[in-house]
Amino acid sequence: METALSREETIGRIAAAKKKLGRDLVILAHYYQNIDIVRSADLVGDSLQLAQSASKQHDAKYIVFCAVSFMAEMARMLCRPDQRVFHPDLEAKCPLAEMAVIEDVERAWAALQTTGKRFIPVVYVNSRADLKAFCGRNGGFVCTSANAKKAMEHVLSQNAVPFFFPDENLGRNTAHTMGIPDEEMFLWEPYNDTRGNSAAGIAGKKVILWRGFCYVHTAFKPSDVEEVKKTYGDISVIVHPECVPGVVRLSDHVGSTSFIKNTIEAAPAGSRWAIGTEINFVECIREDNPDKLIVPLKAWECRDMAKVTPLKFLAVLENLIEDRPQPEVAVDAGNAKYARVALERMLTIG
């Protein structure tokens, strides 16, 4: 693939390749992708919407998934075996997803079992396939930021304690919305057992969390919220639940990427918004809502989502047309079987 293509040439060749591949191809893209990829995609969504969509692509022979790689793995697990799934850069991994590895999770799980209480694992979709499979095998769920509350409520309704990993802030913010205070949550320390993991500490807790975080959303600070309110006065601040609780507390709204999009689209013309999430998404929303004032709480890009470039995306499409060999997304069959169980449980709770 030439690296000297202009932006216009790249967009033009993507459109031509798309046309040539026709109904054989479906392009799924996450909201945090480069705007030229977003504008070329057949479906743009957050993790939940993309998972739901991947399971319904009955006609397509090829699914090209533009996002970090765990999302493409999810599509691989949910679509038919004869469909082929491609990703423009399999090295585009989510650092949050790498913050929980199966050995540490199994060690924590074994320790939790010694307390005599019933736990149900809930893994955030930003996780490796083997952790999703772990949940499938142990009666648990996958969840996204759009349905974390439903998943936690479901576990509590079973008189069990959610063991929620790997994003501490999503777990903590979700539990707060359910009226669970910090004192009733236990933070499992995956890297250092001497920092307080103990059966005595876990006793009486309603939620077990994991020390993991997203470097993009934790970049927003409470002072950023105060600053934007001081600068713009009458402005609503809306943030993603991977932000730290101090930011969420000062903001006017909190919710998944699709919640943020829907809230702003439904807002009256002339309304003013500061958005605390990934900058590519904020730029797209701003372009789509010219009748509103929209500013980023801070311009912060996910460097890992950005590894998927329009040129790499174009290369996948043109390789398909020319029938050139290229890597496909693959998931170990054993993990896929049980991860699908946990994903399907998620899709049934919505």
Shortest distance, position 6 Cβ to ligand SF4, whole Å: 28
Does 224 help bind ligand SF4 (rule: CB under 6 A)?
no
Does 216 help bind ligand SF4 (rule: CB under 6 A)?
yes
Among the candidate windows 58-66, 83-91, 179-187, 298-306, which touches ligand SF4 by CB under 6 A?
A: 298-306
Shortest distance, position 277 Cβ to ligand SF4, whole Å: 8
Among the candidate windows 53-61, 109-117, 172-180, 213-221, which touches ligand SF4 by CB under 6 A?
A: 213-221
Does 336 help bind ligand SF4 (rule: CB under 6 A)?
no
Angle between helices 279-288 and 257-266 (to 10 degrees): 20
With CB under 6 A as the contact rule, the residue among 170, 214, 264, 339 that binds ligand SF4 is 214
Shortest distance, position 30 Cβ to ligand SF4, whole Å: 8
Among the candidate windows 106-114, 149-157, 250-258, 299-307, which touches ligand SF4 by CB under 6 A?
A: 299-307
Under the rule (CB under 6 A), what is the footprint of ligand SF4? 32, 68, 94-96, 126, 214-216, 278, 302, 304-305
